[in-house]
Structure 1
Amino acid sequence: MAERSVSGRRKRADYGEVAGAVLQALPDEGHRGANRLSVALITDPESFDALLAAFRRVEAAHLRVGRCFLTLDDPNQCLYTSGHARAKHDLDGDIAYPDDDTDDALAVYDAAVFESAGAALRDPDRAVRWEDVGNSLVTAPSDIEALVALNRDPGLVVDDVHVVQCLPTTDHTDLLADLPNGYFAGDWTPFECHAVARRMGERHGYALMGIGASTLGFLSVLDPGQRDADALIADLRELYGHRDVDAWNELADLLRGSAVLLLGYTENFADLTET
Protein backbone atom coordinates (compact mmCIF):
# COMPACT_ATOMS: atom_id res chain seq x y z
CA MET A 1 0.00 0.00 0.00
CA ALA A 2 2.74 2.45 0.94
CA GLU A 3 5.05 1.78 -1.99
CA ARG A 4 3.12 1.76 -5.24
CA SER A 5 4.62 2.19 -8.68
CA VAL A 6 4.46 5.74 -10.00
CA SER A 7 3.66 5.93 -13.67
CA GLY A 8 0.91 8.34 -14.76
CA ARG A 9 0.88 10.76 -17.65
CA ARG A 10 1.61 14.08 -15.98
CA LYS A 11 3.93 16.42 -17.80
CA ARG A 12 7.46 15.83 -16.62
CA ALA A 13 9.29 18.77 -15.10
CA ASP A 14 12.79 19.72 -16.16
CA TYR A 15 14.71 20.56 -12.99
CA GLY A 16 18.09 21.18 -14.56
CA GLU A 17 21.42 20.51 -12.90
CA VAL A 18 21.77 20.61 -9.12
CA ALA A 19 25.17 20.49 -7.44
CA GLY A 20 25.65 17.73 -4.91
CA ALA A 21 22.60 15.58 -5.77
CA VAL A 22 20.84 13.84 -8.65
CA LEU A 23 17.30 14.93 -9.49
CA GLN A 24 14.92 12.68 -11.36
CA ALA A 25 11.41 13.68 -12.37
CA LEU A 26 8.49 11.39 -11.68
CA PRO A 27 6.56 9.68 -13.14
CA ASP A 28 9.30 7.56 -14.68
CA GLU A 29 8.97 3.93 -15.67
CA GLY A 30 10.82 1.62 -13.34
CA HIS A 31 10.98 4.02 -10.41
CA ARG A 32 8.77 4.33 -7.39
CA GLY A 33 7.48 7.15 -5.28
CA ALA A 34 4.99 7.17 -2.45
CA ASN A 35 1.88 7.57 -4.64
CA ARG A 36 0.56 9.58 -7.61
CA LEU A 37 1.45 12.78 -5.71
CA SER A 38 5.18 12.00 -6.00
CA VAL A 39 6.93 14.35 -8.42
CA ALA A 40 10.66 13.72 -8.04
CA LEU A 41 13.43 11.60 -6.62
CA ILE A 42 16.52 13.15 -5.09
CA THR A 43 19.32 10.61 -5.01
CA ASP A 44 22.80 10.56 -3.51
CA PRO A 45 22.74 14.04 -1.92
CA GLU A 46 26.19 14.91 -0.62
CA SER A 47 24.85 16.76 2.40
CA PHE A 48 21.70 18.17 3.96
CA ASP A 49 22.42 21.48 2.22
CA ALA A 50 22.59 19.66 -1.13
CA LEU A 51 19.32 17.87 -0.35
CA LEU A 52 17.65 21.14 0.55
CA ALA A 53 18.95 22.86 -2.60
CA ALA A 54 17.59 20.06 -4.78
CA PHE A 55 14.28 20.19 -2.94
CA ARG A 56 14.07 23.94 -3.53
CA ARG A 57 14.61 23.35 -7.25
CA VAL A 58 11.67 20.94 -7.37
CA GLU A 59 9.57 23.24 -5.23
CA ALA A 60 10.17 26.17 -7.58
CA ALA A 61 8.91 24.10 -10.52
CA HIS A 62 5.62 23.36 -8.74
CA LEU A 63 4.66 26.69 -7.20
CA ARG A 64 1.44 26.84 -9.22
CA VAL A 65 0.52 23.24 -8.53
CA GLY A 66 0.73 22.87 -4.78
CA ARG A 67 3.06 22.58 -1.82
CA CYS A 68 6.13 20.36 -1.89
CA PHE A 69 7.44 18.09 0.84
CA LEU A 70 10.05 15.37 1.02
CA THR A 71 10.85 12.15 2.83
CA LEU A 72 13.76 12.22 5.24
CA ASP A 73 15.51 9.37 7.07
CA ASP A 74 14.94 5.82 5.85
CA PRO A 75 12.26 6.48 3.20
CA ASN A 76 11.42 2.80 2.70
CA GLN A 77 10.65 2.33 6.39
CA CYS A 78 8.84 5.67 6.43
CA LEU A 79 6.50 4.64 3.61
CA TYR A 80 6.00 1.16 5.06
CA THR A 81 4.97 2.38 8.52
CA SER A 82 2.90 5.17 6.96
CA GLY A 83 0.70 2.62 5.24
CA HIS A 84 0.21 0.74 8.50
CA ALA A 85 -0.39 3.94 10.48
CA ARG A 86 -3.05 4.99 7.99
CA ALA A 87 -4.87 1.68 8.46
CA LYS A 88 -4.37 1.50 12.24
CA HIS A 89 -5.85 4.96 12.79
CA ASP A 90 -8.58 4.60 10.15
CA LEU A 91 -7.41 7.51 8.04
CA ASP A 92 -8.40 6.11 4.66
CA GLY A 93 -12.15 6.23 5.27
CA ASP A 94 -12.50 2.67 3.95
CA ILE A 95 -11.83 3.95 0.44
CA ALA A 96 -11.49 0.90 -1.77
CA TYR A 97 -8.44 0.39 -3.94
CA PRO A 98 -9.66 0.51 -7.57
CA ASP A 99 -10.24 -2.75 -9.39
CA ASP A 100 -8.71 -1.26 -12.54
CA ASP A 101 -5.30 0.12 -11.66
CA THR A 102 -5.17 2.56 -14.55
CA ASP A 103 -3.33 5.84 -14.07
CA ASP A 104 -6.56 7.83 -13.89
CA ALA A 105 -8.18 5.47 -11.38
CA LEU A 106 -5.13 5.45 -9.13
CA ALA A 107 -4.87 9.24 -9.27
CA VAL A 108 -8.50 9.51 -8.12
CA TYR A 109 -7.84 6.95 -5.39
CA ASP A 110 -4.72 8.72 -4.04
CA ALA A 111 -6.54 12.07 -4.04
CA ALA A 112 -9.48 10.56 -2.14
CA VAL A 113 -7.20 8.94 0.45
CA PHE A 114 -5.37 12.24 0.94
CA GLU A 115 -8.63 14.12 1.44
CA SER A 116 -9.95 11.48 3.84
CA ALA A 117 -6.84 11.59 6.03
CA GLY A 118 -6.84 15.38 6.07
CA ALA A 119 -10.46 15.44 7.18
CA ALA A 120 -9.72 12.94 9.95
CA LEU A 121 -6.73 14.89 11.25
CA ARG A 122 -8.77 18.11 11.31
CA ASP A 123 -11.82 16.50 12.90
CA PRO A 124 -12.25 18.24 16.29
CA ASP A 125 -13.63 15.03 17.78
CA ARG A 126 -10.43 13.16 16.93
CA ALA A 127 -7.79 15.88 17.12
CA VAL A 128 -5.24 15.81 19.96
CA ARG A 129 -4.58 18.97 21.95
CA TRP A 130 -1.03 20.24 22.28
CA GLU A 131 -1.36 20.01 26.05
CA ASP A 132 -1.99 16.27 25.76
CA VAL A 133 1.08 15.43 23.67
CA GLY A 134 3.69 16.22 26.32
CA ASN A 135 5.43 13.18 27.84
CA SER A 136 3.54 10.79 25.52
CA LEU A 137 6.96 9.86 24.14
CA VAL A 138 9.03 7.97 26.71
CA THR A 139 12.45 9.64 26.70
CA ALA A 140 15.75 9.68 28.55
CA PRO A 141 18.27 12.52 28.93
CA SER A 142 20.21 10.91 26.08
CA ASP A 143 17.25 11.64 23.79
CA ILE A 144 17.66 15.36 24.42
CA GLU A 145 21.32 14.96 23.51
CA ALA A 146 20.14 13.19 20.34
CA LEU A 147 17.99 16.23 19.46
CA VAL A 148 21.13 18.34 19.80
CA ALA A 149 23.06 15.96 17.55
CA LEU A 150 20.33 15.95 14.89
CA ASN A 151 20.07 19.72 14.79
CA ARG A 152 23.84 20.20 14.86
CA ASP A 153 24.22 17.80 11.93
CA PRO A 154 21.02 17.55 9.84
CA GLY A 155 22.99 15.31 7.51
CA LEU A 156 22.02 12.49 9.86
CA VAL A 157 18.60 12.39 8.16
CA VAL A 158 20.08 12.28 4.64
CA ASP A 159 19.57 8.97 2.84
CA ASP A 160 20.44 7.56 -0.57
CA VAL A 161 17.00 8.38 -1.99
CA HIS A 162 14.42 11.01 -1.05
CA VAL A 163 10.94 11.28 -2.55
CA VAL A 164 9.41 14.71 -3.18
CA GLN A 165 5.64 15.03 -2.89
CA CYS A 166 3.58 17.86 -4.38
CA LEU A 167 0.25 18.18 -2.57
CA PRO A 168 -2.80 20.22 -3.59
CA THR A 169 -2.70 22.37 -0.45
CA THR A 170 -1.23 25.48 1.14
CA ASP A 171 -1.28 23.97 4.66
CA HIS A 172 2.07 22.61 5.81
CA THR A 173 0.43 20.11 8.18
CA ASP A 174 -1.18 18.33 5.22
CA LEU A 175 2.03 16.38 4.70
CA LEU A 176 0.68 14.25 7.55
CA ALA A 177 -2.46 13.54 5.53
CA ASP A 178 -0.34 12.29 2.63
CA LEU A 179 2.27 10.43 4.70
CA PRO A 180 0.77 9.92 8.17
CA ASN A 181 3.09 8.21 10.58
CA GLY A 182 3.36 7.03 14.15
CA TYR A 183 2.52 3.34 13.95
CA PHE A 184 4.26 1.70 16.89
CA ALA A 185 2.88 1.93 20.42
CA GLY A 186 5.75 4.07 21.70
CA ASP A 187 5.54 6.67 18.90
CA TRP A 188 3.51 9.82 18.60
CA THR A 189 0.35 8.97 16.67
CA PRO A 190 -0.50 10.83 13.43
CA PHE A 191 -2.84 12.98 15.53
CA GLU A 192 -0.07 13.81 18.00
CA CYS A 193 2.34 14.60 15.15
CA HIS A 194 -0.36 16.86 13.72
CA ALA A 195 -0.72 18.69 17.05
CA VAL A 196 3.04 19.22 17.20
CA ALA A 197 3.16 20.50 13.60
CA ARG A 198 0.31 22.92 14.30
CA ARG A 199 2.08 24.23 17.40
CA MET A 200 5.41 24.66 15.63
CA GLY A 201 3.67 26.63 12.87
CA GLU A 202 1.25 28.73 14.87
CA ARG A 203 3.46 29.53 17.85
CA HIS A 204 6.98 29.43 16.46
CA GLY A 205 6.86 30.03 12.70
CA TYR A 206 8.16 26.64 11.59
CA ALA A 207 6.57 24.93 8.57
CA LEU A 208 6.65 21.16 8.23
CA MET A 209 8.66 20.25 5.15
CA GLY A 210 9.55 16.59 5.59
CA ILE A 211 8.96 13.34 7.42
CA GLY A 212 11.12 10.29 7.85
CA ALA A 213 10.83 6.99 9.64
CA SER A 214 11.86 8.70 12.89
CA THR A 215 11.88 12.46 12.38
CA LEU A 216 9.78 15.47 11.48
CA GLY A 217 11.63 18.21 9.60
CA PHE A 218 10.68 21.89 9.81
CA LEU A 219 11.96 25.08 8.20
CA SER A 220 11.52 28.48 9.81
CA VAL A 221 9.51 31.02 7.81
CA LEU A 222 10.75 33.84 10.07
CA ASP A 223 13.80 36.05 9.79
CA PRO A 224 16.53 35.13 12.31
CA GLY A 225 15.79 38.17 14.44
CA GLN A 226 12.14 37.15 14.76
CA ARG A 227 12.81 33.67 16.13
CA ASP A 228 12.31 33.16 19.85
CA ALA A 229 14.52 30.20 20.67
CA ASP A 230 13.74 30.41 24.37
CA ALA A 231 9.98 30.08 23.78
CA LEU A 232 10.61 27.18 21.39
CA ILE A 233 12.83 25.38 23.91
CA ALA A 234 10.18 25.86 26.59
CA ASP A 235 7.69 24.01 24.38
CA LEU A 236 10.20 21.30 23.51
CA ARG A 237 10.92 20.77 27.19
CA GLU A 238 7.21 20.26 27.65
CA LEU A 239 7.19 17.73 24.81
CA TYR A 240 10.24 15.65 25.70
CA GLY A 241 10.66 16.18 29.45
CA HIS A 242 13.99 16.21 31.32
CA ARG A 243 13.69 19.97 31.63
CA ASP A 244 16.89 20.46 33.61
CA VAL A 245 19.46 18.70 31.41
CA ASP A 246 22.20 20.92 30.04
CA ALA A 247 21.55 19.75 26.47
CA TRP A 248 18.55 22.09 26.25
CA ASN A 249 20.84 25.12 26.49
CA GLU A 250 23.02 23.74 23.71
CA LEU A 251 19.97 23.11 21.54
CA ALA A 252 18.76 26.68 22.10
CA ASP A 253 22.11 28.03 20.91
CA LEU A 254 21.95 25.86 17.78
CA LEU A 255 18.40 26.90 16.89
CA ARG A 256 19.22 30.60 17.21
CA GLY A 257 21.54 30.22 14.25
CA SER A 258 19.61 27.78 12.08
CA ALA A 259 16.37 27.79 10.12
CA VAL A 260 16.14 23.99 10.36
CA LEU A 261 14.38 22.16 13.18
CA LEU A 262 14.47 18.36 13.42
CA LEU A 263 12.29 16.57 15.96
CA GLY A 264 12.06 12.87 16.74
CA TYR A 265 8.59 11.35 16.89
CA THR A 266 9.45 7.67 17.54
CA GLU A 267 10.68 5.96 20.68
CA ASN A 268 13.98 5.05 18.99
CA PHE A 269 14.74 8.27 17.09
CA ALA A 270 18.06 8.59 18.95
CA ASP A 271 19.33 5.58 16.97
CA LEU A 272 19.91 7.96 14.05
CA THR A 273 22.74 9.60 15.97
CA GLU A 274 24.58 6.37 16.78
CA THR A 275 27.61 5.51 14.69
Structure 2
Amino acid sequence: MDMQFCGNATPGNPSEGLCDEYRLSTMTHIDELFAACAQILARHPGCRPLVSLDDLPQARYTSGHARQSIDLDQVTELDLAGLPPECFEDGEYVGFMTTKAEFPICVRNFAALTAGASFSDACSHGLTLDAEGLAEWVGYQQEPLALLDQPLSALVVPVAQACEALAAFPNGYFSCDLGPVHNFAVARHLAQRHGYQLIGVGAAYLGFLRATAADPETARAVAADFCALYNVTDEQREGLADTVAQAVLGRTYLWLRYVE
Protein backbone atom coordinates (compact mmCIF):
# COMPACT_ATOMS: atom_id res chain seq x y z
CA MET A 1 0.00 0.00 0.00
CA ASP A 2 1.14 3.53 -0.79
CA MET A 3 0.51 6.12 1.95
CA GLN A 4 1.30 9.72 0.95
CA PHE A 5 0.99 12.76 3.21
CA CYS A 6 -0.56 15.67 1.29
CA GLY A 7 -1.03 18.38 3.91
CA ASN A 8 -4.18 20.45 3.74
CA ALA A 9 -3.87 22.23 0.41
CA THR A 10 -4.45 19.41 -2.06
CA PRO A 11 -7.22 19.81 -4.67
CA GLY A 12 -10.24 17.71 -3.80
CA ASN A 13 -9.47 17.43 -0.09
CA PRO A 14 -12.86 16.29 1.32
CA SER A 15 -12.54 18.66 4.29
CA GLU A 16 -11.97 21.60 1.90
CA GLY A 17 -8.57 22.18 3.48
CA LEU A 18 -9.76 22.29 7.09
CA CYS A 19 -7.66 19.22 7.97
CA ASP A 20 -4.49 17.55 6.78
CA GLU A 21 -4.88 14.60 4.46
CA TYR A 22 -3.16 11.39 3.42
CA ARG A 23 -3.81 9.58 0.13
CA LEU A 24 -3.95 5.78 0.36
CA SER A 25 -3.66 3.60 -2.73
CA THR A 26 -2.76 0.14 -4.04
CA MET A 27 -4.29 -1.67 -1.07
CA THR A 28 -4.56 -5.40 -1.55
CA HIS A 29 -5.91 -6.36 1.89
CA ILE A 30 -8.27 -4.60 4.29
CA ASP A 31 -5.74 -4.90 7.11
CA GLU A 32 -3.58 -2.37 5.24
CA LEU A 33 -6.33 0.23 5.70
CA PHE A 34 -6.53 -0.47 9.41
CA ALA A 35 -2.74 -0.29 9.71
CA ALA A 36 -2.82 3.11 7.99
CA CYS A 37 -5.40 4.36 10.48
CA ALA A 38 -3.17 3.15 13.33
CA GLN A 39 -0.20 5.00 11.81
CA ILE A 40 -2.19 8.21 11.59
CA LEU A 41 -3.18 7.90 15.24
CA ALA A 42 0.47 7.36 16.20
CA ARG A 43 1.83 10.18 14.05
CA HIS A 44 -0.80 12.74 15.00
CA PRO A 45 -1.59 12.67 18.73
CA GLY A 46 -4.92 14.24 19.56
CA CYS A 47 -6.33 13.49 16.12
CA ARG A 48 -8.59 10.87 14.58
CA PRO A 49 -8.44 9.44 11.04
CA LEU A 50 -11.50 9.67 8.81
CA VAL A 51 -11.17 7.71 5.58
CA SER A 52 -13.24 7.98 2.42
CA LEU A 53 -14.96 4.71 1.51
CA ASP A 54 -17.26 4.31 -1.49
CA ASP A 55 -17.53 6.79 -4.40
CA LEU A 56 -15.39 9.68 -3.17
CA PRO A 57 -16.53 12.19 -5.86
CA GLN A 58 -20.19 11.65 -4.95
CA ALA A 59 -19.42 11.71 -1.23
CA ARG A 60 -17.57 14.99 -1.66
CA TYR A 61 -20.50 16.47 -3.60
CA THR A 62 -23.18 15.49 -1.10
CA SER A 63 -20.97 16.52 1.82
CA GLY A 64 -20.80 20.05 0.46
CA HIS A 65 -24.58 20.22 0.35
CA ALA A 66 -24.84 18.62 3.80
CA ARG A 67 -22.53 21.27 5.26
CA GLN A 68 -24.75 24.00 3.88
CA SER A 69 -27.98 22.36 5.01
CA ILE A 70 -26.88 22.30 8.66
CA ASP A 71 -25.09 25.69 8.57
CA LEU A 72 -21.84 24.13 9.69
CA ASP A 73 -19.84 27.13 8.44
CA GLN A 74 -21.76 29.72 10.47
CA VAL A 75 -19.45 32.24 12.16
CA THR A 76 -19.83 35.00 14.72
CA GLU A 77 -18.10 38.37 14.97
CA LEU A 78 -16.00 36.93 17.78
CA ASP A 79 -14.93 34.06 15.51
CA LEU A 80 -13.87 36.48 12.79
CA ALA A 81 -11.74 38.49 15.19
CA GLY A 82 -9.57 35.44 15.85
CA LEU A 83 -9.02 34.30 12.27
CA PRO A 84 -5.77 34.82 10.28
CA PRO A 85 -5.48 37.15 7.24
CA GLU A 86 -5.82 34.33 4.70
CA CYS A 87 -9.49 33.98 5.71
CA PHE A 88 -10.20 37.44 4.32
CA GLU A 89 -10.16 39.13 0.93
CA ASP A 90 -10.02 42.92 0.73
CA GLY A 91 -10.95 43.03 4.39
CA GLU A 92 -14.05 40.87 3.96
CA TYR A 93 -14.44 37.34 5.27
CA VAL A 94 -14.25 34.89 2.37
CA GLY A 95 -17.48 33.26 3.56
CA PHE A 96 -16.58 29.59 3.49
CA MET A 97 -14.10 27.64 5.55
CA THR A 98 -10.90 26.39 3.98
CA THR A 99 -8.19 26.74 6.64
CA LYS A 100 -7.14 24.80 9.72
CA ALA A 101 -7.73 27.91 11.82
CA GLU A 102 -11.44 27.70 11.01
CA PHE A 103 -11.92 24.05 11.87
CA PRO A 104 -12.54 24.62 15.61
CA ILE A 105 -15.58 26.67 14.55
CA CYS A 106 -16.89 23.66 12.62
CA VAL A 107 -16.32 21.41 15.63
CA ARG A 108 -18.18 23.81 17.91
CA ASN A 109 -21.10 24.13 15.49
CA PHE A 110 -21.26 20.37 14.99
CA ALA A 111 -21.19 19.76 18.74
CA ALA A 112 -24.14 22.12 19.19
CA LEU A 113 -26.08 20.35 16.44
CA THR A 114 -25.44 16.89 17.83
CA ALA A 115 -25.81 17.62 21.54
CA GLY A 116 -29.27 16.07 21.73
CA ALA A 117 -28.77 13.38 19.10
CA SER A 118 -29.75 9.81 19.95
CA PHE A 119 -29.63 6.40 18.32
CA SER A 120 -33.39 6.11 18.74
CA ASP A 121 -33.83 9.30 16.71
CA ALA A 122 -31.74 7.77 13.92
CA CYS A 123 -33.89 4.62 14.02
CA SER A 124 -37.07 6.69 13.93
CA HIS A 125 -35.97 8.38 10.72
CA GLY A 126 -37.41 5.38 8.89
CA LEU A 127 -34.42 4.01 7.00
CA THR A 128 -34.99 0.59 5.44
CA LEU A 129 -32.84 -2.02 3.71
CA ASP A 130 -34.36 -4.17 0.98
CA ALA A 131 -33.17 -7.61 -0.11
CA GLU A 132 -30.80 -6.14 -2.68
CA GLY A 133 -29.33 -3.74 -0.13
CA LEU A 134 -28.88 -6.54 2.40
CA ALA A 135 -27.11 -8.71 -0.17
CA GLU A 136 -24.81 -5.79 -1.01
CA TRP A 137 -24.03 -5.23 2.67
CA VAL A 138 -23.27 -8.92 3.29
CA GLY A 139 -20.99 -8.86 0.25
CA TYR A 140 -19.04 -5.91 1.64
CA GLN A 141 -18.72 -7.60 5.02
CA GLN A 142 -17.27 -10.64 3.27
CA GLU A 143 -15.13 -8.75 0.73
CA PRO A 144 -14.43 -5.32 2.27
CA LEU A 145 -12.00 -4.14 -0.39
CA ALA A 146 -14.90 -4.16 -2.84
CA LEU A 147 -16.43 -1.23 -0.94
CA LEU A 148 -13.39 1.03 -1.22
CA ASP A 149 -12.96 3.54 -4.05
CA GLN A 150 -9.18 3.77 -4.30
CA PRO A 151 -7.23 5.95 -3.95
CA LEU A 152 -8.72 6.85 -0.59
CA SER A 153 -8.55 10.14 1.25
CA ALA A 154 -7.62 9.84 4.93
CA LEU A 155 -8.30 13.03 6.85
CA VAL A 156 -6.36 13.85 10.02
CA VAL A 157 -9.10 15.33 12.20
CA PRO A 158 -8.14 17.11 15.45
CA VAL A 159 -10.94 15.79 17.68
CA ALA A 160 -10.96 13.61 20.78
CA GLN A 161 -13.71 11.16 19.81
CA ALA A 162 -13.93 9.31 16.52
CA CYS A 163 -17.60 10.19 16.00
CA GLU A 164 -16.69 13.90 16.19
CA ALA A 165 -14.54 13.51 13.06
CA LEU A 166 -17.72 13.79 11.00
CA ALA A 167 -17.44 17.55 11.52
CA ALA A 168 -14.67 17.45 8.90
CA PHE A 169 -16.63 15.46 6.31
CA PRO A 170 -20.35 15.38 7.22
CA ASN A 171 -22.62 13.44 4.93
CA GLY A 172 -26.24 12.52 4.45
CA TYR A 173 -28.00 15.16 2.38
CA PHE A 174 -31.16 13.68 0.87
CA SER A 175 -34.24 13.69 3.09
CA CYS A 176 -34.78 9.92 2.98
CA ASP A 177 -31.19 9.23 4.13
CA LEU A 178 -29.66 9.57 7.55
CA GLY A 179 -28.26 13.07 7.93
CA PRO A 180 -25.03 14.21 9.60
CA VAL A 181 -26.63 14.39 13.04
CA HIS A 182 -28.15 10.90 12.66
CA ASN A 183 -24.81 9.51 11.49
CA PHE A 184 -23.08 11.04 14.51
CA ALA A 185 -25.66 9.45 16.82
CA VAL A 186 -25.16 6.05 15.21
CA ALA A 187 -21.37 6.34 15.45
CA ARG A 188 -21.47 7.38 19.10
CA HIS A 189 -23.90 4.57 19.95
CA LEU A 190 -21.75 1.90 18.29
CA ALA A 191 -18.69 3.18 20.16
CA GLN A 192 -20.38 3.28 23.54
CA ARG A 193 -22.34 0.04 23.26
CA HIS A 194 -20.15 -2.21 21.13
CA GLY A 195 -16.66 -0.70 20.98
CA TYR A 196 -16.76 0.21 17.28
CA GLN A 197 -14.94 3.45 16.42
CA LEU A 198 -15.83 5.41 13.30
CA ILE A 199 -13.03 5.26 10.73
CA GLY A 200 -14.69 6.24 7.46
CA VAL A 201 -17.56 7.72 5.49
CA GLY A 202 -18.46 7.41 1.85
CA ALA A 203 -21.35 8.32 -0.42
CA ALA A 204 -23.52 5.55 1.05
CA TYR A 205 -21.64 3.82 3.86
CA LEU A 206 -20.10 4.47 7.26
CA GLY A 207 -17.13 2.36 8.39
CA PHE A 208 -16.26 1.21 11.91
CA LEU A 209 -13.44 -0.70 13.57
CA ARG A 210 -13.13 -2.34 16.99
CA ALA A 211 -10.01 -3.51 18.81
CA THR A 212 -11.00 -7.19 18.77
CA ALA A 213 -13.08 -9.36 16.50
CA ALA A 214 -16.76 -9.57 17.38
CA ASP A 215 -17.66 -12.55 19.55
CA PRO A 216 -21.12 -14.19 19.38
CA GLU A 217 -22.59 -11.94 22.07
CA THR A 218 -21.35 -8.78 20.35
CA ALA A 219 -22.52 -10.02 16.96
CA ARG A 220 -26.03 -10.66 18.27
CA ALA A 221 -26.16 -7.24 19.95
CA VAL A 222 -25.02 -5.51 16.75
CA ALA A 223 -27.63 -7.48 14.80
CA ALA A 224 -30.36 -6.24 17.14
CA ASP A 225 -29.29 -2.62 16.59
CA PHE A 226 -29.02 -3.28 12.86
CA CYS A 227 -32.66 -4.41 12.80
CA ALA A 228 -33.72 -1.36 14.80
CA LEU A 229 -31.83 1.06 12.54
CA TYR A 230 -33.38 -0.37 9.38
CA ASN A 231 -36.86 -0.75 10.88
CA VAL A 232 -37.03 -4.49 10.25
CA THR A 233 -40.49 -5.95 10.85
CA ASP A 234 -41.11 -8.61 13.50
CA GLU A 235 -41.77 -11.17 10.78
CA GLN A 236 -38.38 -10.58 9.16
CA ARG A 237 -36.34 -9.97 12.28
CA GLU A 238 -35.31 -13.50 13.33
CA GLY A 239 -33.92 -14.62 9.99
CA LEU A 240 -32.32 -11.29 9.18
CA ALA A 241 -30.71 -10.99 12.63
CA ASP A 242 -29.05 -14.37 12.11
CA THR A 243 -27.72 -13.26 8.72
CA VAL A 244 -26.33 -10.04 10.19
CA ALA A 245 -24.78 -11.74 13.20
CA GLN A 246 -22.98 -14.23 10.96
CA ALA A 247 -21.64 -11.39 8.78
CA VAL A 248 -20.33 -9.53 11.84
CA LEU A 249 -19.00 -12.51 13.84
CA GLY A 250 -15.22 -12.89 13.88
CA ARG A 251 -14.56 -9.57 12.15
CA THR A 252 -13.20 -6.33 13.59
CA TYR A 253 -14.87 -4.08 11.03
CA LEU A 254 -18.46 -3.10 10.39
CA TRP A 255 -20.00 -1.22 7.48
CA LEU A 256 -23.40 0.47 7.72
CA ARG A 257 -25.40 1.86 4.82
CA TYR A 258 -26.85 5.27 5.69
CA VAL A 259 -28.78 5.93 2.46
CA GLU A 260 -32.17 4.58 1.43
For normalisation by structure 2, the TM-score amounts to: 0.81
Partner of 1:217: 207
Considering Cα pairs closer than 8 Å and 6+ residues apart, tell me whether 1 or 2 has the greater RCO. 2
Partner of 2:26: 44
Q: Residue deviations 1:73-120, cap 9 Å, x none?
A: 11222122111101112222257893248xxx8221233223322332
| Residue of structure 2 equivalent to 1:261 | 254
Alpha-carbon shift at residue 225 of structure 1 (Å): 4.6
Residues 1:94 and 1:118: Cα distance change in structure 2 (over 3 Å): same
Letter in 2 for 1:42: L
Segment of structure 1 superposing worse, 135-144 or 82-91: 135-144
Distance 2:112 2:225 in 1: 26
Equivalent runs, 1:1-275 vs 2, <5 Å:
21-27=1-7, 31-34=11-14, 35-62=17-44, 64-94=45-75, 98-100=87-89, 106-122=99-115, 124=116, 127=117, 129-134=118-123, 136-222=126-212, 224-225=214-215, 228-243=218-233, 244=236, 246-267=239-260
Check conservation: 2:215, 2:250, Cα contact below 8 A.
Answer: no
Q: Is this contact kept in 1: 2:195–2:211, CA < 8 A? A: yes
For structure 1, the 5+ residue unaligned runs are 1-20, 268-275
AA at the equivalent of 1:44:
T
- In percent, how many aligned pairs have the same letter? 28
Question: 1:46 Cα deviation (Å)?
Answer: 2.5
Equivalents in 1 of 2:153, 2:66: separation in Å? 19
Q: How many angstroms does 1:259 deviate by?
A: 0.5
For 1:270, the equivalent position in structure 2 comes to none
Residue 182 of structure 1 aligns to a residue whose secondary structure is: coil
| 8 A contact 1:37–1:165 mirrored in 2 | yes
Find the residue that maps to 1:192 and give its secondary structure: helix
1:180–1:140 Cα change, 3 Å = same
Gaps of 5+ in 2: 81-85
Q: Give the superposed CA RMSD.
A: 2.6
Distance 2:217 2:42 in 1: 25
By how many angstroms is 1:214 displaced?
A: 0.7
If each structure's helix is expressed as a fraction of its own residues, which one has the higher value?
Answer: 2
Once structures 1 and 2 are overlaid, which stretch shifts more, 157-166 or 226-235?
226-235
Give a deviation string over 1:130-159, Cα, whole Å, max 9, x none: 223226214323322222112111112211
Q: Is 2:128–2:232's contact at 8 Å kept on the other side of the alignment?
A: no
Contact kept, 8 Å, 1:227 with 1:256, in 2: the verdict is no
> What amino acid sits opposite 2:99 in the alignment?
L
What is the one-letter code of the residue matched to 1:134?
C
Distance 1:107 1:224, change over 3 A: closer
Letter in 1 for 2:142: R
Q: Quick one: distance in 1 between partners of 2:119 and 2:18?
A: 32
- Residues 119 and 29 from structure 1, CA distance in 2 versus in 1: closer, same or farther, beyond 3 angstroms? closer
Q: Is the Cα contact below 8 Å between 2:213 and 2:250 reproduced in 1?
A: no
The count of corresponding residues between Structure 1 and Structure 2 is: 240
Q: Which amino acid aligns with 1:43?
A: S
